[in-house]
Structure 1
Amino acid sequence: MKHRFALAATAATTALAGAAFAEGHGGTMRIGITQNNVGVDSYQTTYERAFIEAAEANDMVETVVLDAGGDVARQIAQMEDLIQQEVDAIIIWPTNGEAVIPAVRKAFQADIPVIVTNSNIAEPGFDFVASFSGPDNITQGQRSAEIMCDKFKEMGIEDEAKVVHITGQPGYTTAIERAQGFNDRLPEVCPNVEQIDQQPGDWNREKSQQVMEAFLVKYDDIDGVYAGDDNMGVGALNAAKAADRAEDIIFVGATNFAVGYEAMAAGEYWGSIYQSPVDDAQAALQTAIDVLNGEEVPFLNYFDTPKITQDNMDQFTKPVF
């Protein structure tokens, strides 16, 4: 298998193009991927490594692996470059679910199937996408709300608890959907729990620690913290520990990072959602291959992400990211 890095990439399309590929293309599948921001956290770093390994294990696949570095303009340029290269399929991990739609449309118009990975684009772009491969982020937010509510009920504070919420990067579909799932589900399962504040942590541990420091100054009574991933959740935990208030707060996250798993093992962090970047990467590549082979692929091709808490964490291996 041939593997190379390029400076830019892009694409978008339909399953019909995949069927045409299967009928008329007897050679190597050339698949481009433009990622969100590999350097921002260990999940994305592990995803990229797993994607490359999966592609290298398939002699029929050649990849162009790109990273937008969190820059929407760069990702759009990468999409346009991939279209010019006439790759067979494009995988995009969107930097912004709205802003990338025109580039995805261009790929679609060029008969290049687009697979969205990990974080979906906004609904107006769905017509230009062959499939979404990744987690159901709304369900993840709902499950995190259930984890928190169950713990409050166990503690007997479900009628008085107050919660603060640290979200991911504004405009990023995963952040929007996890927040939506949590915000919609918490009042259903614990109607008397009050969410007193919500601020973005941008998937960054240091910024999330600063957000939590501000919450701790502003609010004397905080019973729970929900963070859109464990990287941010541990940042919040660190702020609470520094203020000597961590023992009074239940921390719940999503995307169980190694640091979250370790904090759970230490009894400092209550629960999260177990999500593997290796599964994520392998599923995206396989979805692209299936589309190019003309196979039927669900538009929303989810993989499962179960609840993990201190009570059942022995059933899960420590994350590698």
Structure 2
Amino acid sequence: MNLRSTFAATTAATAMLAGAAFAGEHGGTMRIGITQNNVGVDSYQTTYEQAFIAAAEENENVETVVLDAGGDVARQIAQMEDLIQQDVDAIIIWPTNGEAVIPAVRKAAQADIPVIVTNSNIAEQGFDFVASFSGPDNITQGARSAEIMCDKFKEEGIEGEARVVQISGQPGYTTAIERAKGFEDRLPEVCPDVTLVETQPGDWNREKSQQVMEAFLVKYDDIDGVYAGDDNMGVGALNAAKAAGRDGIIFVGATNFAVGYEAMAAGDYWGSIYQSPVDDAEAALQTAIDILNGEEVPFLNYFDTPKITQDNMDEFSKPVF
């Protein structure tokens, strides 16, 4: 049994005990607190919060305390401590930083409050303080993005010489790390002659990513592909390429935003990974409820995120975020 499996078994048992205790002692309303990463930073997180609140309001047995860290690690740690002081029944955390929040998560676990990590996992050394992770498999997303890009290079006959730049998410943020790792590990497996020439962070921000791409375009005369950790950053890069008159670059992202979907429909943006913030929010809330009801929940509770390209985008609804 590997480290992750061992933690999974331990935390599943802990979650079952916590749930059994809740079911035995309460029988009434579940108070679930959530501290989010940064609601205002992009439309995915805004839509997630709206969906989370709507799902909670539909369940008469649930009360929520909804907090937003605004991207500030210190504020999120303070929010965790506040939720512990309020003695909520469960805490959902969307980490601002996968390592920095571990002491606060540990404190909640020591207070016998089950912690559910949502969307972006904490670092592995914190797994034994977590009841479950609910969200996408970000390493698989990165790998699928590499496959999308490689397939397009092969279709165009440039898989033996193509050069790629990467715009990653916020440094230190688990989703950014995992999506980059998935892409970087998978690309040489499927397209061994493609060169990843440089990676720079775009911080999940479209304007920042446009500036990063502008610098890439000045630095490199030959760029065949751009991989961005989400479509918001990918469209920022696309805007830079358009402004510079650089045609023929293949753009691939992850988390298909409405702007990415529209750029795909216009033929400017090739592909992405389809991920719903509504599914994400509802899955996190349901995971917390299941744990409090004493049900067995997987430690890594993933929902599927399929590939979307110009070729199959008609099979998917336009994202609402």
Partner of 1:132: 133
Partner of 2:28: 27
| SS of the residue 1:178 aligns to | helix
In terms of mean alpha carbon deviation, does 236-245 or 23-32 score higher?
Answer: 23-32
Partner of 2:252: 252
| SS of the residue 1:166 aligns to | strand
CA offsets, 1:179-237, max 9 Å, x none? 00000000000000000000000000000000000000000000000000000000000
| SS of the residue 1:248 aligns to | coil
Cα distance in 2 for partners of 1:22, 1:44 equals 31
Partner of 1:311: 311
2:139 is the counterpart of 1:158: no
Cα distance in 2 for partners of 1:253, 1:167 equals 10
* Equivalent residues of 1:14, 1:108 under 8 A apart: no
Superposed displacement of residue 14, structure 1: 3.6
Cα distance in 2 for partners of 1:157, 1:23 equals 63
Superposed displacement of residue 92, structure 1: 0.1
* Equivalent residues of 1:14, 1:111 under 8 A apart: no
Post-superposition, which runs of at least 4 consecutive aligned residues in structure 1 deviate over 4 A?
none
Superposed displacement of residue 23, structure 1: 2.0
Partner of 1:213: 214
Partner of 2:89: 88
Cα distance in 1 for partners of 2:94, 2:21 equals 25
Cα distance in 1 for partners of 2:278, 2:20 equals 27
Cα distance in 2 for partners of 1:186, 1:153 equals 13
Write out aligned runs for 1:84-123 (5 A): 84-123=85-124
* Equivalent residues of 1:133, 1:301 under 8 A apart: yes
CA offsets, 1:237-277, max 9 Å, x none? 000000000x2100000000000000000000000000000
How many pairs were matched up? 308
Partner of 2:7: none
Cα distance in 2 for partners of 1:196, 1:94 equals 30
| SS of the residue 2:227 aligns to | strand
Cα distance in 2 for partners of 1:262, 1:14 equals 45
Partner of 2:273: 273
Cα distance in 2 for partners of 1:229, 1:313 equals 17
Superposed displacement of residue 25, structure 1: 1.3
Superposed displacement of residue 27, structure 1: 1.0
Cα distance in 2 for partners of 1:41, 1:145 equals 24
Superposed displacement of residue 297, structure 1: 0.1
| SS of the residue 2:152 aligns to | helix
2:228 partner letter:
A
| SS of the residue 1:62 aligns to | strand
* Equivalent residues of 1:256, 1:319 under 8 A apart: yes
Partner of 2:6: none
TM-score by length of 2: 0.95
In structure 2, the gaps of 5 or more residues are 1-12
TM-score by length of 1: 0.95
2:27 partner letter:
G
1:48 partner letter:
E
Percent identity between the aligned chains?
Answer: 89
Once superposed, what is the RMSD of the aligned Cα atoms? 0.7
